[in-house]
């Protein structure tokens, strides 16, 4: 069990608004990274303002059973992988930013669940794209 899990000074990731705050904080950090930022901004060429609501809907679906996300995440990342291979180091770095952001800003059962889900996503995505 993590020390911050029941920290009363940090909210849990238990509402769409808080998930939105997390997504913004996470991408603010991630898009400053010299390795990951070009993958998102240049290779994937995402419009960050269009991307945020999609990512928020994705996490709402995973954490709260939201129904607003209908994209096939693996297909999106396969297309990206053909433009620029995504390595274990890329996924590990993504996960480290995810976990750091979560630990700094949120605590509780939903936050812990999000970190477990993110670790599974990073591992599964890497394996699906690169093999075991």
Question: How far is Cα 19 from Cα 64, in angstroms, rounded to an integer?
Answer: 10
C-alpha 5, offset from chain centre: 19
Q: Mapping DSSP to helix (H, G, I), strand (E, B) and coil, where does residue 70 land? A: coil
Q: Is 82 annotated as a binding residue?
A: no
Q: Please, which residues have CB within 8 angstroms of residue 23's CB and are 6 or more apart in sequence?
A: 52, 55, 56, 59
Angle at 73 between CA 34 and CA 38, to 5 degrees: 15
Binding site feature residues for heme: 77
């Amino acid at each position: 069990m993590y020390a911050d899990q029941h920290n009363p000074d940090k909210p849990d990731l238990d509402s769409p608004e808080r998930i939105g705050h997390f997504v913004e904080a996470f991408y603010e950090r991630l898009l400053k990274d010299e390795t990951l930022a070009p993958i998102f901004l240049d290779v994937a060429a995402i419009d960050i303002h269009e991307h945020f609501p999609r990512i928020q809907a994705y996490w709402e679906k995973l954490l709260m059973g939201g129904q607003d996300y209908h994209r096939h995440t693996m297909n999106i990342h396969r297309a990206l992988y053909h433009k620029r291979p995504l390595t274990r180091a890329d996924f590990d770095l993504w996960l480290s930013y995810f976990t750091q952001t979560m630990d700094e800003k949120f605590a509780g059962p939903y936050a812990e669940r999000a970190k477990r889900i993110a670790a599974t996503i990073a591992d599964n995505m890497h394996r699906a794209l690169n093999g075991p």
